[in-house]
Amino acid sequence: MTEYCGYCGKALAEKEKGVVRLKDGQAVCAECADKTRILYPFRYSYVLTRSTIASGWTRKKDAIYDNTVLGQRIDPLTEMTLEEFRAAMEESLKAAEEQAARYADAKAVIEVDHVRRYFPNVGTVEKPKYSKRKHYGVFGKVLYGELITGAEVVVSHKDREYSAKMKTLEDWDGKSAAGTPVGKASAGKLVNMMFSQGMDFVYPGDTLIVR
């Protein structure tokens, strides 16, 4: 039996990705769910700390990917009925409109959580050789708009404006301990933006803008 999104009516393919099962058993599609993440993001029972990240930098024998978001993922949408989801959608669309007015000339706005440098193993497991090239990951949350892979992000500090072109984009709201490469991410999503350059001008709490 075909199932439909309770909000937009779209037919859901079997094993469709990102479908959310609501409290009353109804399903909503990934696109509808994503529109509400601006106000109802995933929550995690484990918070990545700076010391967790630092251990990933120094213990070079360990893959840095092991030091990632662990613990349980909680989806606040699963605690809603379809009626409550409809109200959540209305609130979220309004919030997106307010953000649009606030960031009038931006295509996307990201709040930075942390920056980490990766040392990918370019050797073998037995004979590891760690790349000295610059691989930086900027983790954060999309506050507004749609972030596209390859976008140029801009941050302003009191001395000047800095910019960098992203290489790849990863969705970090998945259940695995690593990110999933994606082409774009919408407001409310946790992301990692990878850069092949030093990103030492980006600090936790910074606001990055894509124009």
Residues 6+ apart with CB under 8 A from 85: 6, 7, 22, 26, 28, 36, 77
Least gap, CB of 58 to Zn ion (angstroms): 45
Our finding on whether 8 is near Zn ion (CB under 5 A) is yes
Our finding on whether 89 is near Zn ion (CB under 5 A) is no
28 versus 147: smaller Cβ distance to Zn ion: 28
**Measured between alpha carbons, how far is residue 93 from residues 77, 99, 148, 201 in Å?**
15, 10, 20, 33
DSSP 3-state of 186:
strand
Distance between CA atoms of 202 and 200, rounded to whole angstroms? 5
DSSP 3-state of 185:
strand
Least gap, CB of 160 to Zn ion (angstroms): 43
**Site map (CB under 5 A) of Zn ion, residues 11-40, x = contact:** ------------------x--x--------
Distance between CA atoms of 91 and 94, rounded to whole angstroms? 5
Our finding on whether 191 is near Zn ion (CB under 5 A) is no
Query: Of 3-11, 56-64, 93-101, 152-160, which segment contacts Zn ion by CB under 5 A?
Result: 3-11
Query: Of 1-9, 77-85, 109-117, 192-200, which segment contacts Zn ion by CB under 5 A?
Result: 1-9
Question: H helices within 59-112, ranges in order?
Answer: 82-102
Is residue 57 within 8 A of residue 66, CB to CB? The reply is no
Our finding on whether 185 is near Zn ion (CB under 5 A) is no
Least gap, CB of 96 to Zn ion (angstroms): 16
**Interacting residues toward Zn ion by CB under 5 A:** 5, 7-8, 10, 29, 32
